[in-house]
Amino acid sequence: MEILSALFKPVLDFALPPRCPICGVTVEADHHFCLSCWQDLVFLIEPWCASCGKPFAFAQGEGAQCVTCLQNLPDHDGVRAVVAYDDKSSLLAMRLKYGTRLGYGELIARQLERFLHEVPADALIIPVPLHRWRLWSRGFNQSVLIARALSKRNAIAMDTGILSRKSATPPLRFMSAKQRRKLVKDAFLLSGDARSKIDERTIILVDDVYTTGATTNACARLLKKSGADRVLVFCWARVLIDYEQS
C-alpha cells in the first residue's frame, strides 16, 4: 500500500494539489498553510491565566489569574487553543463544521500536539458530544474528528461513550453567556461506568471553538464530579473578547 501511495502521489498532487485551508492557494503539502495566512493567524502562547489559559499581554507572575476567573472560577482546568478566533481562523472551523472538509480535523489535531507535554501518558481524550438529532442531520461530529486524529497520531486513549448530550439546544452563537449557561447546564450525561474510566485521570476535552466556556464548563463539571483529576480543554480557536456574564 505504501509503495502504491508513493507511485501515485505525484499524479494526485498534480490533479489535486494541496491547498491552504484558509485562502485556497496551492501549498507544498497537505495540512499546511500558505505563508500569508500563517503569518496572519494569531497563535496563542504563554504567558496566560493559570485557571483558564487566556493569554496575557505580559507575564504577571506564577499563578496569576485573569479578571474573569477571579470573579468566577471555571470548572475546567484551562483552555489550550491554537489560535485566536478571528475572520481567518474562523474560516477553517466553519469549513470543518459545516462544509464537510473533514480532513481539517487532522490539521487541527496536528496543531494541538504542541500542548500534549502538559498531560500524562494515561490521559483520556473525550470529544464534546453532539445531540443525536444534530449528529444525524450533519452526519459527523467535528470534535470527534479532531479527537480521533489526536488520539491516533499520539497513541492516547479516546472514549466517545462516556459523555453524551441528552438535551438538544438551539444554536448558541448569538446568545449571552448567561443564556448559554442556562441552556447547557443540564444538557449532558455521563455513562454508568464513567467513574471507573475517568477516576483520577487527566481528561483532554476536545472542541472546535471556545467562546464563553458554557459548554465545556458543563462537561467539565460532570467529569470532575465523577472523579476526573484535571480537565483541560483543547480546541482550534478561542474567542478572546469577554462576554457579558449577567
Report the chain's C-alpha Rg in angstroms. Answer: 19
- Average pLDDT, rounded, for the chain: 87
212 within 8 A of 79, measured Cβ to Cβ: no
pTM above 0.75, yes or no: yes
Q: What is the mean pLDDT of residues 88-93?
A: 95
14 has pLDDT over 70: no
* Per-residue confidence band for 137, with pLDDT thresholds at 50, 70 and 90: confident
Give residue for cell 472560577.
Answer: 73
CA angle 61, 62, 63 (to 5 degrees): 115
Q: Which three three-digit cell numbers place residue 201? A: 485521570
Distance CA 31, CA 122 (A): 27
User: Would you state the cell numbers that stand for residue 244, as one nine-digit string?
Assistant: 457579558
pLDDT score at 16? 75
Question: Could you give the angle at which helices 214-225 and 177-184 cross, rounded to 10 degrees?
Answer: 40
Could you tell me if 155 and 229 are in contact, meaning their C-beta atoms sit under 8 angstroms apart? no
Cα–Cα distance for residue pair 75/191, rounded to 1 Å: 20
* Per-residue confidence (pLDDT) for residue 173, from 0 to 100: 62
pLDDT, mean of residues 46-64: 92
Report the 10 Å Cβ neighbour count for 111: 19
Whether 1 shows a pLDDT value over 80: the answer reads no
A 10 A CB-CB count for 210 gives 24
- End-to-end Cα separation, the chain, in angstroms: 57
**CATH 3.40.50.2020 domain span(s) along the chain:** 41-238
Q: What are phi and psi of 204, to 5 degrees?
A: -100, 105
pLDDT at residue number 140: 84
DSSP state at residue 101: -
Decide: 91 and 65 in contact? Cβ < 8 Å: no
Condensed to tens digits (0 to 9), the pLDDT of residues 138-161 reads: 778 899 999 999 999 999 999 999
Return the top range by mean pLDDT from 31-40, 132-141, 183-192.
31-40
Q: Return d(Cα 84, Cα 147) in angstroms, integer.
A: 20
* CATH label, 41-238, candidates 3.40.50.2020, 3.40.50.300, 2.40.10.170, 3.40.50.11260: 3.40.50.2020
Give CA–CA dist 12/139, Å, rounded.
Answer: 27
Cβ pair 178, 144 in contact under 8 A: no
pLDDT tens track for 215-239: 999 999 999 999 999 999 999 999 9
